[in-house]
Amino acid sequence: MDEHARLRLLPSVEGLVGTLEARGLLGGIPRRAATLCAREVLDDARHRLRSGGEAAPEALVEATAALLRRRFDLSLRRAVNATGVVLHTNLGRAPLSDAARAAVLEACVGYSTLEINLEDGSRGARHAHIERLLTTVTGAEAGFAVNNNAAAVTLALAALAGGREVVVARGELVEIGGSFRMPDVMAQSGARLVEVGTTNRTYLSDYEAALGPQAALLLKVHRSNFTLRGFVHDVSLQELATLGQRRSLPVVYDLGSGCLVDLGNAGLPAEPTIGDAVGTGADLVLCSGDKLLGGPQAGLVVGRRDAVERCRRHPLARAMRLDKLSLAALAATLQAYLDPARAWREIPVLMTLGAPPARRRRRAAALARALSRTCGSAASVSVVATTGEVGGGSLPDVAVPSFAVAVRPERARPEQWAARLRAAAVPVVAVVRDDALLLDVLAMLPGDERLVRAAVADIVRPA
């Protein structure tokens, strides 16, 4: 058949959409949107035929249906975290507790009490929903929350140091990832950065020498995602707080991952909690809501009342304010911390980190048995010990002992299986290491095993 004859065999745009509709492949997507996809697929097919390629009509139906799903299905979906990284920024960091999820639903199914004073019907403040919880669990005088910690840092510097100097150690000028660099954030806030010390060693005298008439604030930044070892000297928060008091300058601590419990309970090295930082004398402590705190994306601003008030009243605060869904989730998350034992039982991040390694081994063994049955001769399956991570730019040095199911496909590359798992109805995100697909159980949530099995079954099922 010559080229022209084959081109004539292609269906029309209308015909292609009609076929999809007849077979129930539109999946609720309006014909208008489907028409755009069909046109693209047909253009592509014509192009291929003209350059000597193939374009079978049946393949066009499938290609259009696939394009329709890629374009218009909701792409922000639930996923299984089989990476062994608990706080995975690309997988949405902390999963919410049951209580936080319920609070989100409660706040959005209808109208809500977001900014109303129920006693007299006047306008209320959205911050009121969390301030008492925040001050109770941190010991701070005052507090509120903005969109994320990057916003909290920008706001604090703008409110307390706009146009003047912020003194910070060179060794703490971190990049958080996603191109969040401390020096750039400071520039946006309108504050001028004065770096003191060297990369590895900073002394109190370095800060003292840098404090001129333009100095507005002393900033300490938690080295969230890296560690300095060897010939190192740091100035403690305690020393900075004393210096700040002597010179009447506020001390702001960007704690990064806000933690409210003693991680020693989970056999992890002690992290300074928000309460520790407040108690040590920081005027403001800033941290994320969705890292170790285990709540929604948010930036917590807690500390002395006057410093908190200056942030809250700054015009930028309005542009960075937390939405009602996150506010509801944050309040419910903080409420669990009123009793730390309850927080360990209910906050998913803490439940994960607090689980004994022996339980991870049992989970991995059970999953391996199940996957071995599912795979049959298509892959060899075993259990391997792994070192999981807390992630999310927290505790960079800490290895969380965990276990993974190692899957070695017989007739495919492990990367191909990893891609197929990501394409599953509920995507499973795993890693490939040492020529095996590793499904780490560390960050899997209860019930995720079923989803993993379903995704693997889809790969091995004969086409």
Ligand X SMILES: *Cc1c(COP(=O)(O)O)cnc(C)c1O
Quote the tokens at residue 54: 């193939």
- The residues, any chain, with a CB within 8 Å of residue 327's CB and separated by 6 or more, are 107, 114, 126, 129, 130, 145
Q: How far is the CB of 425 from ligand X (least distance, A)?
A: 29
- Quick one: 258 or 388, whose CB is closer to ligand X? 258
The CB density around residue 24, as the number of other CB atoms within 10 Å, is 7
Q: How far is the CB of 338 from ligand X (least distance, A)?
A: 23
Strands 436-440 and 215-221, bridge-based pairing = unpaired
Considering only 112-120, 147-155, 360-368, 395-403, which stretch makes contact with ligand X by CB under 6 A? 147-155
By CB under 6 A, is residue 393 in contact with ligand X? Answer: yes
- Quick one: 261 or 293, whose CB is closer to ligand X? 293
- Quick one: 393 or 409, whose CB is closer to ligand X? 393
Q: How far is the CB of 148 from ligand X (least distance, A)?
A: 3
Query: What residues pair up with 433 in beta bridges, in sequence order?
Result: 436
Quote the tokens at residue 342: 């309850």
Decide if 237 contacts 280 (C-beta within 8 A).
yes
Task: Out of 85, 130, 150, 441, name the contact with ligand X by CB under 6 A.
Answer: 150
Q: How far is the CB of 113 from ligand X (least distance, A)?
A: 26
| DSSP, residue by residue, 67-104 | HHHHHHS--S---EE-SSEEE-GGGTSSPPPHHHHHHH
- Quick one: 72 or 180, whose CB is closer to ligand X? 180
Decide if 269 contacts 398 (C-beta within 8 A).
yes
Q: In the range 162-181, which residues lie near ligand X by CB under 6 A?
A: 174, 176, 180
Site string for ligand X, 217-236 (x = CB under 6 A): ----xx-x------------
Q: From 399, 411, 403, select the one nearest 438 (Cα to Cα).
A: 403
Phi, psi of 346 (to 5 degrees): -115, -25
Considering only 148-156, 209-217, 357-365, 373-381, which stretch makes contact with ligand X by CB under 6 A? 148-156
Query: What residues pair up with 396 in beta bridges, in sequence order?
Result: none
Q: In the range 407-436, which residues lie near ligand X by CB under 6 A?
A: none
Q: Report d(CA 278, CA 257) in Å as an integer.
A: 15
Q: How far is the CB of 312 from ligand X (least distance, A)?
A: 18
Strands 428-429 and 299-303, bridge-based pairing = unpaired
Q: How far is the CB of 257 from ligand X (least distance, A)?
A: 6
Phi, psi of 180 (to 5 degrees): -95, 100
Task: Out of 81, 149, 154, 202, name the contact with ligand X by CB under 6 A.
Answer: 149
Q: How far is the CB of 195 from ligand X (least distance, A)?
A: 16
By CB under 6 A, is residue 333 in contact with ligand X? Answer: no
- The residues, any chain, with a CB within 8 Å of residue 414's CB and separated by 6 or more, are 407, 408, 432, 435, 436, 437
Task: Out of 244, 294, 299, 391, name the contact with ligand X by CB under 6 A.
Answer: 299
The CB density around residue 123, as the number of other CB atoms within 10 Å, is 8
Site string for ligand X, 236-275 (x = CB under 6 A): ------------------x-xx------------------
Q: From 274, 269, 271, select the one nearest 298 (Cα to Cα).
A: 274
Quote the tokens at residue 18: 């009609």
- Quick one: 258 or 348, whose CB is closer to ligand X? 258
Q: How far is the CB of 191 from ligand X (least distance, A)?
A: 15
Q: How far is the CB of 152 from ligand X (least distance, A)?
A: 8
Considering only 94-102, 146-154, 226-234, 263-271, which stretch makes contact with ligand X by CB under 6 A? 146-154
Closest residue to ligand X using C-beta atoms: 256
Q: Burial, 433: exposed, middle or buried (Cβ in 10 Å; 0-12, 13-18, 19+)?
A: middle
Q: From 424, 426, 379, select the one nearest 406 (Cα to Cα).
A: 379
Site string for ligand X, 272-291 (x = CB under 6 A): ----------------x---
Site string for ligand X, 190-209 (x = CB under 6 A): --------------------
By CB under 6 A, is residue 88 in contact with ligand X? Answer: no
Q: In the range 345-374, which residues lie near ligand X by CB under 6 A?
A: none
Task: Out of 19, 83, 138, 148, name the contact with ligand X by CB under 6 A.
Answer: 148
SS3 14: helix
Q: Report d(CA 115, CA 188) in Å as an integer.
A: 30
Q: Report d(CA 339, CA 329) in Å as an integer.
A: 17
Q: Residues in the site for ligand X, rule: CB under 6 A?
A: 148-150, 153, 174, 176, 180, 221-222, 224, 254, 256-257, 288, 299, 393
